[in-house]
Chain A
Amino acid sequence: MIAVLKRKMKPRLARLARLPGGKTVGAIEADVLARLDALKDTCFVEAQLSVARMTELAAALPQPPEPDDLRPFYGLCDTIVGLAGVAELAHAGRAALSLCRLLDGWIAGRPWRPASLDVCLTAIALLCRPDCGLAPEERDKIVAGLVDVARRPGR
């Protein structure tokens, strides 16, 4: 018999959030957007650095890599995803998520395909460049291609 303790909780936050004063959601949105806009350039540079770091890591990978060799890519992908909204790099963020999906597959034991990693990194680097000259629909096509690569790692 497993003893289960149950407690009904009412977070203090619920009471505090309803105190008089505060801000409307509209005012919060305007304030937050102004604050994030001020971070845009920093985030953009950080995204470029993450791409450069991934490229370095990829060049140094043993063939085939062990799961522990691949795990550092997750953190860098997460960084790009996290920055994507502020740095206006939404497509690069989606491309980074495709790479995460590929990593999941390889770490789970699917056949290692260095070409798939190269394709993903090249695409992420391209989508992180402000002067890539691609229209949004072309970027969409690149991301769709990467999703396909991640879905069919054996091809």
Chain B
Amino acid sequence: MTALNLLKNRAGASWLFLVAATIVSWAVGAEHGTGSLVAVVVLGIAAVKVRLVGLDFMELRHAPFALRAAFEAYCVGMWALLAALYLWL
């Protein structure tokens, strides 16, 4: 079994998505004014990336409901909190 065979799964696909999402967030987020909604999008992309790291790299996709739910709540909660602080403070 080769390394490639061992990566032909959800984790391998997630890595490709994570790399693409990093480039996209760089492209849209590098230059924007203060108070811009772009920052909220960039934080959203970060939260989605973190969720994928948890589900497919940390293997939480197959974890008991409480553990997975706590992790997903962290992702959504951080995004909502950081976006709100950015926009309204």
Binding partners A and B:
no
